[in-house]
């Protein structure tokens, strides 16, 4: 299913309200003047409210996307879409993509 390409200006959070940012933007493909993000780039999370053990298994520190575009690649890597799925470490909870650009669709 087509979805909007994810870019570095997108609003991405962990399930506990921590802010997520890509570690390696893809400068070869720009949307709205900002680099897109390839599936291989891990995200770093800051401000996660999940408590550490023994109260919880947090906070979320990193996340890795497990789904991405199937037909749109840059440097051989699939680009991330608005509906791409990611898992946070060490909690195993998902990242939530709240907002991204709305001009470029991909599949």
Give the tens place of pLDDT for each residue, 74-95.
Answer: 999 999 999 999 999 999 999 9
At 103 the pLDDT is: 95
CATH number at residue 52: 2.60.200.60
- Per-residue pLDDT band for 98 (boundaries 50, 70, 90) equals very high
At 56 the pLDDT is: 85
Number of domains in the chain: 1
Contact 50, 16 (CB under 8 A): yes
Give the tens place of pLDDT for each residue, 30-77.
Answer: 999 999 999 999 999 999 999 998 888 889 999 999 999 999 999 999
- Per-residue pLDDT band for 2 (boundaries 50, 70, 90) equals confident
At 58 the pLDDT is: 85
Q: Token pair of 84, please?
A: 């791409």
Q: What is the domain range of residue 77?
A: 3-106
At 1 the pLDDT is: 67
- Could you tell me where the beta strands, DSSP code E, fall in the chain? 3-4, 11-14, 19-22, 25-31, 34-37, 43-46, 62-65, 73-74, 77-78, 86-89, 95-99, 105-106
């Amino acid at each position: 299913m087509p979805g909007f390409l994810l870019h570095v200006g997108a609003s991405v959070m962990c399930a506990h309200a921590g802010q997520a940012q890509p570690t390696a933007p893809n400068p070869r493909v720009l949307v709205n003047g900002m680099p897109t993000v390839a599936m291989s780039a891990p995200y770093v999370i800051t401000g996660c409210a999940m408590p550490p053990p023994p109260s919880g298994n947090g906070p979320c520190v990193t996340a890795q996307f497990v789904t991405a575009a199937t037909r749109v690649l840059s440097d051989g890597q699939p680009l991330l879409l608005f509906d791409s799925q990611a898992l946070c470490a060490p909690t195993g909870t998902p990242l939530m993509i709240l907002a991204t650009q709305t001009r470029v669709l991909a599949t």
